[in-house]
């Protein structure tokens, strides 16, 4: 079946602008995650959704970052007043409960959105 998809694949914006990044999880996956991968580093956790609610947004760097998942499927990561330091690849992942501990659930990743802030 279809994997996690993310749009756009590339986004170039100017400093101070607002951007939205979209994630379509695997159908039926109740959990959705956003990570950010800066150049030369591993992905860093941003936010975790279980259904429609953000269960853990502790990784969002500041209040310019916000994410929603209104119907428990598609999610949008929103960044206000973008800064050059926001340039990174934004990854989305989804998972379905395996019946065991949550840590055993496999997270399936999308290809990411490469955000460049000029």
Partner 1 sequence: AQSVTQLGSHVSVSEGALVLLRCNYSSSVPPYLFWYVQYPNQGLQLLLKYTSAATLVKGINGFEAEFKKSETSFHLTKPSAHMSDAAEYFCAVSDRGSNDYKLSFGAGTTVTVRA
Q: Applying CB under 8 A, which residues contact partner 1?
A: 3-4, 31, 33, 35, 40-45, 48, 56, 59, 91, 93, 95, 100-112
Question: Token digits for 100?
Answer: 């065991």
Phi and psi, residue 104, nearest 5°: -90, -10
The smaller minimum CB distance to partner 1, of residues 34 and 73, is found at: 34
Minimum separation from the CB atom of position 3 to partner 1 (A): 7
Query: Beta strand 10-13 with 113-117: parallel, antiparallel or unpaired?
Result: parallel
3-class state of residue 45 by DSSP: strand
Minimum separation from the CB atom of position 15 to partner 1 (A): 26
Minimum separation from the CB atom of position 99 to partner 1 (A): 12
């Amino acid at each position: 079946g279809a994997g996690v998809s993310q749009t756009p694949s590339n986004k170039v914006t100017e400093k101070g602008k607002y951007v939205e990044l979209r994630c379509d999880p695997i159908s039926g996956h109740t959990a959705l995650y956003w990570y950010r991968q800066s150049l030369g580093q591993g992905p860093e956790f941003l936010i975790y959704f279980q259904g429609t609610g953000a269960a853990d947004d502790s990784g969002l760097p500041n209040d310019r970052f916000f994410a929603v998942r209104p119907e428990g499927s598609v999610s949008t990561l929103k960044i206000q007043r973008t800064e050059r330091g926001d340039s990174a690849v934004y990854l989305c992942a989804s998972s379905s409960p395996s019946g065991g501990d949550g840590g055993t659930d496999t997270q399936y990743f999308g290809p990411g959105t490469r955000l460049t802030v000029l």
